Structure 1
Amino acid sequence: MGCDGGTIPKRDELVRTKKKPEQKDKAADLVAKWKHCALSQERLVEPIMACELGKLYNRESALEFLLDRSKFECAQSFDHLRVLKDLKKLELTVNRGYEGWLAEKGDSYIDMQKSGYICPVVGLEMNGKYKFCFSWKCGCVVSERALKEVKTDVCHKCGKPFAPEDIVLMNAAEEDYDEMKTKMEARRLKTKMEKKAKKAEKHKVETTSQAAEGEASSSKRVRIVEPAKVESGSSKLTNGLKNPRTKVTNGKVEEKAAKAKSIQEDPTASKAFKSLFTSSDRARNQPKAHWVTFNPMYY
C-alpha cells in the first residue's frame, strides 16, 4: 500500500471527503454570552445592564455606545438601543461559593461553568445551562424554573407586581428571539400611548383651569353704570355735558366751584394749609435774618 512499517491506512487518508462545517465550542460560547459584555466583549462588572432582548452589558460600555456609535463595529446589531431608558439595571443574587477569576495554571482544572450569581429561589447558577429571566419593572433576576414552580403575580425578590409581558429572557435562544422582539415593540407602544394620554389629560386640566380663571376675572370686572344723557354734538371727554366742570351724581348735574386765583382766597382750604405758603399773613410778618449773624431772632 506504500506505507512503511506495516501500517494500515484509513479511508479518509486515501479518499477525499467533505470537511464538516466548523462548530463553535458550546462552553466558550456560554462564557462569552453570560460573563462578557455584548458590546465591548469585556468581563461583566457591576452594575450590569440588560436590554429588552435580554443581552448583557457593562454600564460604561452602554453609555459610550449611546454617545458615539461609530466606535463599535457591531453597531447595526444594536439598533434597538436608542436612549438609556432602553436599558435596565439588573438586581442579581451573589453566589457566595464563587471564588472569582483565578490565575490559570497548567496542571489545574478550570471550571468555566461556575458563575458569580445564582437564582434566589431554587439556587441554580446563572451560567447559561438554565434559562434565566428578569422583570422589566424591577430588574430582579430569577430562573425560569422558579417562575414555573412558584406561580405568582409579584416578584420573588422584591415583591413588586408584574405582568407576563414584562418578563424578559436573558440571552434568549434563536427560537425565543422573535417573541422577545414582539414583546419589546408592544411594551414600547404601550408606554408611548400612556405618555400621550397623560399629556392630553394635563392639557385638558390646564384649559379648564384657565377658563375658570377667565370667568372669575370677567365677573369681577363687571360694573353697573347708570346711563347718562348725551346731547348731540357733545364730546366724549366732557361726559356729554356742556360745561367740563360739571359732574353727574345720583342723576343730578352739579357744577364744580371755579378754581380760586390765590390759595389764600380759596374757601375750601384750611388756615393751617394756607400758613404753609409765603402769601399768608404769618409769613409776611415773620422777622428776617440779620445780614451779619443770619439769626432771624436777632433784632
Structure 2
Amino acid sequence: MGCDGGTIPKRHELVKGPKKVEKVDKNAELAAKWKYCALSQEKLRRPIVSCDLGRLYNKDAIIEYLLDKSAERPNTEAVAHIRGIKDIKELNLTDNPEWEGERRNSKGDRYEDIHCGMFICPVVGLEMNGKHRFCYLQSCGCVFSDRAMKEVKTEICHKCGDPFKEEDIIVLNGTKEEVEELREKMEERRAKAKTKKSKKSKAAEAVSTPSETKDATQSPQVDVAGRSSLQNGSETSQSAVAGPSGSSSSSKDIKSSMTSATTKRSIQDMEERSEVFKSLFTSHSSAKRTKEQTSNWVTHTPYHF
C-alpha cells in the first residue's frame, strides 16, 4: 500500500491521470506494408501482384477472393476496387542477395536487421523496405526505386527494355494523397474504356443493320422442281440489258417454271429448254451408260468386285 518500510510513493502511483495516446510503431507499420499481403496478411511470396493503387498482394489470395467474394475476410476494403484479373499486374521483382529468409538462424545469438528487404532496385541497389520510394511500370510490371527513375531518365524500361509512358508509373505503398491521385487516374481510365466499348458496339450495330436491309430487299430466286436454279450467261445478260420487253419475257419464264414445278413435269419434256440445259441433268440420254461403259467399283484392297 505504500508508506511502510520507508517507501515514498510517487504522484503517478496515487493519482490516475489521462491515458497516453498509443503510437504506432513505424517499423511494424513498414513491415506490414512491404513484407505482408494487404488482403490475407500473410508473408509475401512469389508471384506477387499489385493493383492500380500500389498495394502488394499474393496472387493466390487475389484469385481466391475473385472466385468467392461472398466469403468473410478481414481486409475486403483493400480489394474492393479490384473487379478481375485485368485490374492487377504481376510484378517483376529483383531478389536481394543478402536476404536469407527462412534460412536465417533465429537463435538470437547475432544481430538481426529488421529493415533488410526481400527485394532491391536493379539500377541503384536500394532495398525495398519502406524507407525509400518504389514504383512499378504498369506496362511491363518491372519495379524500380524513385531515385533510379529520376537519375536515369529514359522512356525505355531499365530491366526488360519495353517502352513506357509517365502515365504507366505507379507508386507502391504511397501516402494518402498519392493513393487519392492514383484512384482518380484509375477512374478516368475506366471511364475512357467504357466510352470506347460503347462506341465499338454502336459501330457494330450500324454495320449489321444495312446488311440486313440489303438481304430483305433482294428478291428470292425461283427453283425448278425443288432443285437449285441454273441460268446460262446469255440469258442473264439479255435479261439485264432488255427493257420492258425483257421484263415481260422474264415474268413468262418465271410463270412457266412455277407451273412446271406444280405439275412436276420432266425437264426433258420441256420444249422451251435447250439441249445444253437438259444435258446438265442425269435424266438426259447422254448421262445414261451401258454396262460395258461403266467401270467396276475400286476399294482400298486390290480385289475387284
Give TM-score, length-normalised by structure 2.
Answer: 0.66
Correspondence for 1:90: 91
Correspondence for 1:163: 165
Correspondence for 1:282: none
The answer to whether the aligner puts 1:26 opposite 2:26 as a matched pair is: yes
In 1, distance between residues paired with 2:156 and 2:270? Answer: 85
Correspondence for 1:224: 238
Q: Is contact 1:37-1:43 (8 Å) kept?
A: yes
In 2, distance between residues paired with 1:8 and 1:178? Answer: 55
CA 1:93–1:203: 2 relative to 1, 3 Å: farther
Q: Is contact 1:45-1:58 (8 Å) kept?
A: yes
The answer to whether the aligner puts 1:63 opposite 2:77 as a matched pair is: no
Deviation at 1:199, TM superposition (A): 5.2
Greater displacement, 70-79 / 143-152: 70-79
In 2, distance between residues paired with 1:23 and 1:222? Answer: 94
Q: Is contact 1:134-1:140 (8 Å) kept?
A: yes
CA distances 1:152-206 after superposition (whole Å, capped 9, x unpaired): 22222222222222211111122322111112112222333444455566667x6
Structure 2 residue matching 1:142: 3-state secondary structure = strand
5+ long unaligned stretches in structure 1: 250-268, 277-299
Percent sequence identity over aligned pairs: 46
Q: Is contact 1:65-1:71 (8 Å) kept?
A: no
Structure 1 residue matching 2:43: 3-state secondary structure = coil
Matched residue count? 240
Correspondence for 1:125: 127
In 1, distance between residues paired with 2:77 and 2:100? Answer: 36
CA distances 1:261-294 after superposition (whole Å, capped 9, x unpaired): xxxxxxxx9xxx9xx9xxxxxxxxxxxxxxxxxx
Deviation at 1:22, TM superposition (A): 1.2
Correspondence for 2:264: none
CA 1:190–1:111: 2 relative to 1, 3 Å: same
CA 1:31–1:238: 2 relative to 1, 3 Å: closer
CA 1:106–1:210: 2 relative to 1, 3 Å: same
Q: Is contact 1:35-1:43 (8 Å) kept?
A: yes
Correspondence for 2:78: 77
Deviation at 1:210, TM superposition (A): 5.6
Deviation at 1:208, TM superposition (A): 11
In 1, distance between residues paired with 2:255 and 2:203? Answer: 49
The answer to whether the aligner puts 1:149 opposite 2:151 as a matched pair is: yes
Deviation at 1:4, TM superposition (A): 5.1
Instruction: Give the letter aligned to residue 125 of structure 1.
Output: E
Deviation at 1:10, TM superposition (A): 4.3
In 1, distance between residues paired with 2:273 and 2:101? Answer: 99
CA 1:24–1:120: 2 relative to 1, 3 Å: same
Q: Is contact 2:38-2:75 (8 Å) kept?
A: no
In 2, distance between residues paired with 1:130 and 1:246? Answer: 97
Structure 2 residue matching 1:49: 3-state secondary structure = strand
In 2, distance between residues paired with 1:59 and 1:162? Answer: 24
Structure 2 residue matching 1:57: 3-state secondary structure = strand
Q: Report the aligned-residue RMSD.
A: 3.8
Deviation at 1:246, TM superposition (A): 6.7
Structure 2 residue matching 1:168: 3-state secondary structure = strand
CA 1:106–1:223: 2 relative to 1, 3 Å: same
In 1, distance between residues paired with 2:257 and 2:119? Answer: 92
Q: Is contact 2:40-2:75 (8 Å) kept?
A: no
Greater displacement, 195-204 / 142-151: 195-204
Deviation at 1:6, TM superposition (A): 5.5
In 2, distance between residues paired with 1:248 and 1:110? Answer: 103
5+ long unaligned stretches in structure 2: 220-232, 259-268, 275-284, 291-305
Correspondence for 1:265: none
Structure 1 residue matching 2:179: 3-state secondary structure = helix
CA 1:246–1:198: 2 relative to 1, 3 Å: closer
Give matches, 1:177-188, under 5 Å.
177-188=179-190
Structure with more helix by fraction? 2
In 2, distance between residues paired with 1:149 and 1:222? Answer: 77
Deviation at 1:108, TM superposition (A): 3.1
Structure 2 residue matching 1:134: 3-state secondary structure = strand
In 2, distance between residues paired with 1:64 and 1:46? Answer: 16
